């Protein structure tokens, strides 16, 4: 994969205005891809687009709430009004939430499932409709979680949503291979983003989790750049239906 291997291609990233999504967006732009980011916070999205434009590619922020079917379909229309077609689509938007299972409310459950699982479904459906109609293949990448490998207290809803994404992607890989659309899931370990805000200041948690990570640190958004470029490029034609673990070895220790 050369540094300009994505020139002439367009990538869309949901949740691309910060964290892992922006880390991937910056790497994709450096590899030459135009990058469109979807998210709710317009100020953050504008700042992210500023960073991407500075790299020298085209970039657009589209306001989108992935939990809202109309919002997703409108975001797709706005994206295609600006870019000729989408070559790689990253369904990355997600929220985290922890609550003891006995105290977990149906609203807690629904908020996490609606954002992470239903939002990924709606986003991927819009992307697949476009890619199939366009007939030029493509790459779909979803973001799962290491919480789907290990059990985690108070994360029953989050983990169910992330394992649901893995199952959805495996089915898509089988259904879409004939359209030359590859479908893979990134599985992050603990990554230093806003989602970890509460844990960042918890010295004990930081010491325990870095201590059991063979690479001896939390991940950073930049750690997802190389995988994003690889998955967005056209070379790995035979790589589909997979889960790529990026966790510094955390789940192996």
Residues marked active site are found at 145, 158, 162
Residue 43 exposed, middle or buried by CB count within 10 Å (0-12, 13-18, 19+): exposed
CB 94 within 8 A of CB 67: no
Among positions 110-129, residues that touch ligand NDP (CB under 6 A) are 115, 119
CB 117 within 8 A of CB 148: no
- 53 C-beta neighbours (distance < 10 Å), count: 14
| Cβ proximity to ligand NDP, 218 vs 230, nearer residue | 218
Of 34-42, 49-57, 76-84, 206-214, the segment contacting ligand NDP by CB under 6 A is 34-42
Q: At what angle do helices 42-55 and 19-30 cross, to 10 degrees?
A: 20
Q: Count interface residues toward ligand NDP (CB under 6 A).
A: 32
Q: Per-residue x/- mask for ligand NDP, residues 130 to 169, rule CB under 6 A? A: -------------x-xx-----------------------
| Tokens found for residue 78 | 């706005």
Residue 56 exposed, middle or buried by CB count within 10 Å (0-12, 13-18, 19+): exposed
| Cβ proximity to ligand NDP, 97 vs 234, nearer residue | 97
Helix (H) or strand (E) holding 185: strand 181-188
Q: Does 188 bind ligand NDP (CB under 6 A)?
A: yes
Q: Does 225 bind ligand NDP (CB under 6 A)?
A: no
Query: Can you tell me the distance from the alpha carbon of 197 to that of 182, in angstroms, rounded to the nearest whole number?
Result: 33
* Shortest Å distance, C-beta 135 to ligand NDP: 28
* Shortest Å distance, C-beta 53 to ligand NDP: 18
Of 9-17, 49-57, 129-137, 225-233, the segment contacting ligand NDP by CB under 6 A is 9-17
Interface pick for ligand NDP out of 6, 10, 12, 15 (rule CB under 6 A): 15
Q: Does 222 bind ligand NDP (CB under 6 A)?
A: no
Among positions 72-101, residues that touch ligand NDP (CB under 6 A) are 92-96
Q: At what angle do helices 19-30 and 225-232 cross, to 10 degrees?
A: 60
User: Which residue's structure tokens are 């434009």?
Assistant: 53
Query: Can you tell me the distance from the alpha carbon of 165 to that of 192, in angstroms, rounded to the nearest whole number?
Result: 22
Interface pick for ligand NDP out of 28, 36, 66, 169 (rule CB under 6 A): 66
Helix (H) or strand (E) holding 54: helix 42-55
Helix (H) or strand (E) holding 128: helix 119-134
Q: Does 194 bind ligand NDP (CB under 6 A)?
A: yes
Q: Does 36 bind ligand NDP (CB under 6 A)?
A: no
Which residues contact ligand NDP by CB under 6 A? 14-15, 17-21, 39-41, 44, 64-67, 92-96, 115, 119, 143, 145-146, 188, 190-191, 193-196
């Amino acid at each position: 994969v050369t540094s300009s291997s994505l020139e002439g291609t367009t990538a869309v990233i949901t949740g691309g205005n910060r964290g892992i999504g922006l880390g991937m967006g910056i790497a994709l732009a450096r590899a030459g891809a135009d990058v469109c980011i979807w998210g709710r916070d317009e100020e953050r999205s504008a700042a992210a687009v500023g960073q991407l434009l500075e790299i020298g590619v085209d970039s657009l922020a589209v306001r989108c709430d992935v939990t809202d079917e109309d919002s997703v379909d409108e975001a797709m229309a706005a994206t295609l009004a600006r870019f000729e077609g989408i070559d790689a689509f990253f369904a990355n938007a997600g929220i985290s939430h922890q609550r003891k299972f006995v105290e977990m409310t149906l609203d807690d459950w629904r908020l996490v499932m609606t954002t992470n699982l239903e939002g990924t479904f709606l986003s991927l459906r819009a992307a697949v409709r476009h890619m199939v109609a366009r007939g030029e293949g493509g790459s779909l990448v979803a973001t799962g979680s290491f919480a789907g490998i290990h059990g985690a207290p108070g994360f029953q809803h989050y983990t169910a949503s992330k394992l649901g994404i893995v199952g959805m992607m495996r089915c898509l890989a089988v259904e879409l291979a004939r359209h030359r659309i590859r479908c893979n899931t990134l599985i992050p370990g603990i990554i230093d983003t806003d989602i970890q805000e509460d844990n960042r200041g918890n010295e004990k948690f930081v010491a325990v989790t870095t201590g059991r990570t063979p690479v001896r640190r939390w991940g950073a958004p930049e750690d997802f750049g190389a995988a994003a470029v690889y998955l967005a490029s056209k070379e790995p034609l035979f790589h589909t239906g997979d889960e790529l673990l990026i966790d510094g070895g955390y789940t192996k220790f």
